[in-house]
Amino acid sequence: MSTKKPVVFVTRKLPDPVETRMMELFDARLNVADKALSREDLIGAVQSADVLVPTVTDRVDAQIIAEAAPRLKLIASFGTGIDHIDLAAASERGITVTNTPGVLTEDTADMTMALILSVPRRLGEGERLLRAGKWTGWAPNFMLGRRIWGKRLGILGMGRIGTAVARRARGFGLSIHYHNRNRVAEDTEAELEATYWESLDQMLAHMDIVSVNCPHTPATYHLLSGRRLKLMQPSAYVVNTSRGEVVDEEVLVQMLRDGELSGAGLDVYEHEPKVNPELLALDNVVLLPHIGSATLEGRIDMGEKVLINIRTFFDGHRPPDRVLPQLL
């Protein structure tokens, strides 16, 4: 490896231990102000760095990649999702892309389970009522929610996170159902007592709660389409901690407003950080600001993966979390 440290451009502020190590190992250009970069800023970054470390909010599209200097050899994304990077454009330029899989599984599954509990029991609505000073005391029919014990949970996407959600949900007495591109291993199915549905349409029609845990790709855009949402029972709930683009949000809002669905728990939105104003006006939803993976431990683990990917790449070896060129 060359004795000259590679220039690493980091688009957002990372946890202090990660940034300290980044500065020790590389010629790191940090975003101390932690402000989202403009397109012009991103173009400047890819023209001046050997490595770009973007986050899920940075749209590294084909036009930005086309502006990259020949020295840019690695995009080491801080996050699991890669839908914000144009992989085809990166491949054409011979740029390696890495991500940080696996470290956020338990944190995101915890948040998913929290929403599964919160929405049927109307926790968000109750908290808002209490803070507004409108609680007048206990009454037999006050704030009646729905029991989750014995209900059917349909998991859309039975990968690492979906499986971790299923393990938690079993402890709360939910029966596990799932739809996935491929059926999971027999021993996993047996452990979770999970029922596989080859037809997503049929699964949706029979579930009490649907949890969206698949990644956003061109194939999963609006996978939970308006037509499919209409298949669900009016008593059912939707929980999404994956990506907002997987769900047709406009139809979801309309159904929640009109009583065609009982409620929703959302940590992600189709046009985030913008949130549909109609969602904000609904009582039967719990809304979170994309914090499913937001733990200090998780963010540090992500940073460590980024560091390892960069070091391994510049040591002349294959980074452990490479998504390009192997996926194309």
The residues annotated as belonging to the active site are 243, 272, 290
How many residues can be counted in the chain? 328
How many angstroms separate the CA atoms of 247 and 126, rounded?
26
Question: Are 292 and 112 a contacting pair, CB within 8 Å?
Answer: yes
Helices (H), 1-86: 16-25, 39-48, 62-66
- As given in the structure block, the two tokens for residue 205 are 């029609």
Q: Concatenated DSSP letters for 218-276? A: TTTTTSB-HHHHTTS-TT-EEEE-S-GGGB-HHHHHHHHHTTSSSEEEES--TTTTS--
E strand residue ranges, 11-136: 27-29, 51-53, 74-76, 96-98
Query: Helix, strand, or coil here: 314?
Result: helix
Closest CA to 112 of 267, 224, 225: 267
Q: Which residue, 148, 162, 267, is CA-closest to 208? A: 148
Dihedral through CA 321, CA 45, CA 272, CA 164, nearest 10?
10
Helix axis angle, 16-25 to 296-314, nearest 10°:
10
d(CA 206, CA 195): 12
217 neighbors 159 (Cβ within 8 angstroms): no
Q: Is the peptide bond before 273 cis (omega within 30 degrees of 0)?
A: yes
Residue with tokens 């194309």: 328
CA dist 16 → 9, 21, 221, 249 (Å): 16, 9, 35, 36
